[in-house]
Amino acid sequence: MENKGKRFIKALYSLEAASLLRLAKRYYSYRVLSDVTGIPAPILARYIFGKTLPTPDRAHTILKRLMKLVDPRYILGQRLADTGGIVDTSIVLTDPLYLKATTFYFVEKLADQKITKIVVPEASGIPLATSLSLALEVPFIVARRKATMSLFRETLCSDIEPSFCIQKDSIGKRDNVLIVDDIVETGATLTSIKRLIELIGASLTKVVALVVIGEEWKNRAKIEDVETLIMIMRPTKRARMPSL
């Protein structure tokens, strides 16, 4: 979020609160939403139907309180329990309500970061990268496996396996890059994308992922921290979205 920071994030609150309320209304009654947010139902209705917008301060309060109702961390944890340990991120990547809640969660975490580009490996993390790109108003680039880049003439590929490639000039040396993925476990993909950024000479600002499993990725990718919804400290089964 180039030269925007917290002031820019605050300006987003009014629109995002109204949008999240509209999505939440599909699942919850005005009474429930009023109880959660502490705001009378008639006023919530005005926000939902776009007749007015909450002030940034009130919007931030609405978002914070709504997150208790639609917390994507709880949804992912519940899905993990329901499936007997299978990591299924599809609900927060395909349901607009939880995707928007997830985006808000990460945008708040990134408020102090200067981000100019987003890189996402194909393919499951693309919905989150798209949503963050729209929220932060920065371009995103899909890093594709080398075998799928044969149709592109001008590409740059990482020199380690699994090799990921992007189109040349899509990222510059002055860019501050955010890596987005759905699941981080072994760190193989993360290491390859990080290497790609190093080859360009750009700066890796932050990594976000829906789920982080174990700590193998730390030693492999030489990255200390990943912003995540949930961290699992044991081996588990995984279920990814179909390729997009």
- pLDDT, tens digit, for every residue of 221-240? 999 899 999 999 865 566 65
Is residue 244 included in any domain, yes or no?
Answer: no
Biggest CA–CA distance in the chain, Å, is: 58
Per-residue pLDDT at 5 exceeds 70: no
pLDDT of residue 242: 42
Any domain includes 195: yes
Indicate which CATH number applies to the domain containing 128: 3.40.50.2020
**Of the residues 69, 104, 122, the one at which a domain ends:** 69
**Residues 116-126: pLDDT tens digits?**
999 999 989 99
- Based on the domain organization, do 163 and 147 belong to the same domain? yes
Residues 186 and 228 in one domain: yes
AA letter at 243: S
pLDDT at 6 over 90: no
Task: Let me know whether 97 and 198 are in one domain.
Answer: yes
Mean pLDDT of 152-166: 88
Token readout for 221 is 């990718």
Within this chain, do residues 97 and 195 fall inside the same structural domain, yes or no? yes
Q: Report the pLDDT value the prediction gives residue 1, as an integer from 0 to 100.
A: 47
pLDDT band (50, 70, 90) for residue 244: very low
Q: What is the domain count for the chain?
A: 2
Same-domain pairing of 89 and 184: yes
Distance between CA 191 and CA 197 in Å, rounded? 10
Q: Are residue 88 and residue 62 in the same domain, yes or no?
A: no
**Domain of residue 34, residue span:** 5-69
> Is 136's pLDDT higher than 70?
yes
CA torsion, ordered 190, 188, 143, 119, to nearest 10 deg: -10
